[in-house]
């Protein structure tokens, strides 16, 4: 279901990754409004399931064979589903994680402590350079989610043991886990935002090895790479169709 929430109609006639509006980096997003007019004729863009206008999304997981404090989870993401790592919010929660309920943060007040703003920060760097930046976002997103999925059974087994002895102790345990995973995601997303601006600054790519950016023999950052991300064969052909020989290299 989480993957369904991230869909842009890939592989269907409605796909947004093979027309000129994708830009040079194959972005499957379109600006709003989705309708426009050219020479008196009206046109529109498809609206994908995953859209930049999402304030939050969630997937509800409900297991009636478990105590209700344990069996209900909202896998919650505070932005466009494609650009977030869903964190588990157990229905036993009585205290909201600070990143999902940040004092002082609102629609016009940015905060590094707020998941909505930090996730939007990463997403808005990624949208216009999708093919170049998104693989890095996806790697972090999927790594976090897989860790939550891998831990789920152990967490819930312990919660069930606590619940059988003292339901209040189970509630506190799941409260703490909900808070911990949400704040972990926020910390990792802040790191990701900084990584993206350093790694992909000025549309180039800084080389790295074993998680560290490379330096040369005198300690300066290694020369950037220019791999030409995003110029798919489809886009290159369309580009030349519209520009002709304007940018053709003269033959010797």
| pLDDT for the residue numbered 229 | 60
Does 180 reside within a domain?
yes
Can you name the residues that pair with 83 across neighbouring β-strands?
none
User: What pLDDT is stored for residue 230 in this prediction?
Assistant: 61
Strands 57-62 and 72-77: antiparallel
**Residue 198 lies in domain:** 58-203
Phi and psi at residue 115, in whole multiples of 5°? -65, -40
Strands of the sheet containing 57-62, edge to edge, are 57-62, 72-77, 87-90
Residue 98 pLDDT greater than 80, yes or no = yes
Task: Find out whether 139 and 208 touch, Cβ atoms under 8 Å.
Answer: no
Q: How many domains does the chain have?
A: 1
**Is residue 220 domain-resident?**
no
pLDDT for 173 beyond 70: yes
Strand partners, 159: none
Give a yes or no: residue 7 inside a domain.
Answer: no
Q: For residues 98 and 22, which has the higher predicted lDDT (pLDDT)?
A: 98
**Most confidently modeled of 113-127, 220-234, 237-251?**
113-127
Give me the mean pLDDT over the 163-177 stretch: 96
Q: Percentage of the chain with pLDDT > 70? A: 99
User: For residues 87, 88, 91 and 95, what is the CA-based torsion angle, rounded to 10 degrees?
Assistant: -60
Give the pLDDT score at 149.
97
What is the distance between the alpha carbons of residues 170 and 182, in angstroms, rounded to a whole number? 18
User: Whose CA is closest to 116, among 167, 52, 72, 204?
Assistant: 52
Distance, CA of 65 to CA of 21 (rounded, Å): 48
Q: Rounded mean pLDDT of 204-229?
A: 90
In a domain, 234, yes or no: no
pLDDT in tens, 3-45: 999 999 988 989 887 788 888 888 999 988 999 999 999 999 8
Please, which pLDDT band fits residue 142 given cuts at 50, 70 and 90? very high
Residue 252 lies in a domain: no
> φ, ψ for residue 121 (rounded to 5)?
-60, -50
How many other CB atoms are there within 10 angstroms of residue 15's CB atom? 15
- In the structure, what pLDDT confidence band is assigned to residue 117 with cuts at 50, 70 and 90? very high
The 10s digit of each residue's pLDDT in 41-55 is 999 988 889 999 999
3-state secondary structure 74-118: EEEECCCHHHCCCEEEECCCCCCCHHHCCCCCECCECCCCCHHHH
In a domain, 15, yes or no: no
Residue 47: how many CA atoms within 13 Å on its side-chain side? 8
What is the pLDDT, as a whole number, of residue 123? 97
Rg from Cα positions in the chain: 22
Q: Is residue 24 part of a domain?
A: no
């Amino acid at each position: 279901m989480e993957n369904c929430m991230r869909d842009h109609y890939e592989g269907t006639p409605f796909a947004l990754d093979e027309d000129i509006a994708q830009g040079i980096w194959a972005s499957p997003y379109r600006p709003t409004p989705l309708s426009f007019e050219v020479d008196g004729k009206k046109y529109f863009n498809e609206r994908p399931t995953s859209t930049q206008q999402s304030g939050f999304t969630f997937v509800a997981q409900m297991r009636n064979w478990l105590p209700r404090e344990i069996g209900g989870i909202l896998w919650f993401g505070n932005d466009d589903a494609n650009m977030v790592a869903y964190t588990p919010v157990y229905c036993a929660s009585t205290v909201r994680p600070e990143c999902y309920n940040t004092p002082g943060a609102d629609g016009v007040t940015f905060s590094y402590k707020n998941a909505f703003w930090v996730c939007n920060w990463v997403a808005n760097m990624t949208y216009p350079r999708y093919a170049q930046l998104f693989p890095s976002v996806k790697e972090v997103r999927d790594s976090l989610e897989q860790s939550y999925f891998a831990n789920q059974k152990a967490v819930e087994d312990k919660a069930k043991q606590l619940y059988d002895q003292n339901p209040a102790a189970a509630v506190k345990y799941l409260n703490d886990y909900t808070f911990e995973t949400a704040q972990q995601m926020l910390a990792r997303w802040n790191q990701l935002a900084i990584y993206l601006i350093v790694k992909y600054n000025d549309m180039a790519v800084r080389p790295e090895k074993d998680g560290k950016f490379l330096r040369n023999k005198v300690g300066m950052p290694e020369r950037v790479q220019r791999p030409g991300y995003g110029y798919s064969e489809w886009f290159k052909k369309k580009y030349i169709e519209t520009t002709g020989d304007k940018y053709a290299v003269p033959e010797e």
